[in-house]
Amino acid sequence: MVERSDPTRFHLLQLKPREEKRLLAGHLWVYSNEVDNRKTPLKRFKPGQPVMIVSSSSRVIGTGYVNPNSLICARLVTRSLETALDGVLIRQRLGQALALRQAIYPEPYYRLCFGESDGLPGLVLDRFGHYYSGQITTAGMQRFQAEIENALEELLQPRSLIWRNDVAVRQLEGLSPENTRVFGQMPEQVEVHEAGLIFQTSLIQGQKTGWFYDQTANRHRLAKYVAGADVADLYSYLGAWGLRAAQAGAQSVVCVDSSPTAVEGVRHAAEANQLSDRVAACKADVQAWMQQALEAGRQFDVVVLDPPALIKRKRDQRDGQRAYQRLNELALRIVRPGGVLFSFSCSQHLSRDELRKTINRAGMRQGIPLQVLENLQQGPDHPVHPAMVETEYLKGFVVRRLAC
């Protein structure tokens, strides 16, 4: 690890001619085929090793870390040679991230750090009051685990932290998938507060880091559509969309998810928030459930379609788009004329424009005319890096089904 801002302490990683353009425009990733392996062979580096990234003409681009075993073989952390890659930088970047969230959110429930967008590539941290859940997904950031934990203790004095490092992407970095508890005991269930509602989630066994904070801002925008409405919350997880709809005046809500744990969580949250009279939870495959609703002639004023990522790899894009189209065709058919569909994709390999076209094709195939009312994206605790479209992973639209 670099102890001070001394350029001689970094090993050079040199790019091929004309491969620096994207980095000079602000991007932070170096791909293995962009490296000049004759001058700086990747095989000589160790995973996570600090490097100075330079152009073919030896122009310094910045410093970061390398992993010779990954397609994304290096990640830029700072463009200043006066800044060391050390615990001081970790604390400064986390402090900067914390200041943004504290300025925006009235309660301490949010994503505290969002990787590249917060200047800490490979690090995700979610906050649940005094409890924290995180993921380290790169070898370079793994080297700083102790520094991250020290910075958290200094800034926030957590009661507990769990590393949910059981994600497949770590294997691409040569890291083992594992979960580790830090800072004392993590309760089996922790609270999430959102807009006056209280949910219970497991940071030990829940999906990803325990909660989908990326949709919090979009759920705020639901209220104006649901007064007196019948609402379907599809792929509901713990029912955040559905309960927000009921809180905002929906007359009936059904939350559909294939996970029995999630469905039980919806029921518990509905009871705890005194919304059980209007919120039902259904364990079912979402596509099968929509097909049954169609056969029964059942329709809704508002449908929320928030599926998991259906395109895991770029080569799966065509099949994934077909899957999104099938889902949107079914969802549009169970929307009453005049009603609205909140349709999302969290697949990095599906662009916003492609999602819009997919929804349009779904409407055209079913003879359903549409209006786009709103464009949606992840909330400000998931900031978008202006040079990295990869950080704008959540795309969504509010579309209205016209009668004719």
**Known catalytic residues?**
346
Which residue in 395, 403, 399 sits closest to 302, CA to CA?
399
Residue ranges of E strands in 243-324: 252-257, 279-283, 300-305
- Is residue 336 exposed (0-12), middle (13-18) or buried (19+ Cβ within 10 Å)? middle
Tell me the C-alpha distance between 73 and 58, whole Å: 19
Tell me the C-alpha distance between 281 and 266, whole Å: 6
b/e burial code for range 104-130 (CB count within 10 A of at least 16 → b):
ebeebbbbbbbbbbbbbbbbbbbbbee
Tell me the C-alpha distance between 290 and 331, whole Å: 7
Nearest 5°: CA angle at 75, between 15 and 310?
A: 115
CA 99 vs CA 136, 145, 192, 274: distances in Å: 21, 21, 20, 34
Six token digits for residue 42: 């990747």
* Cβ 349 vs Cβ 313: under 8 Å: yes
> In this structure, are strands 109-114 and 300-305 parallel, antiparallel, or unpaired?
unpaired
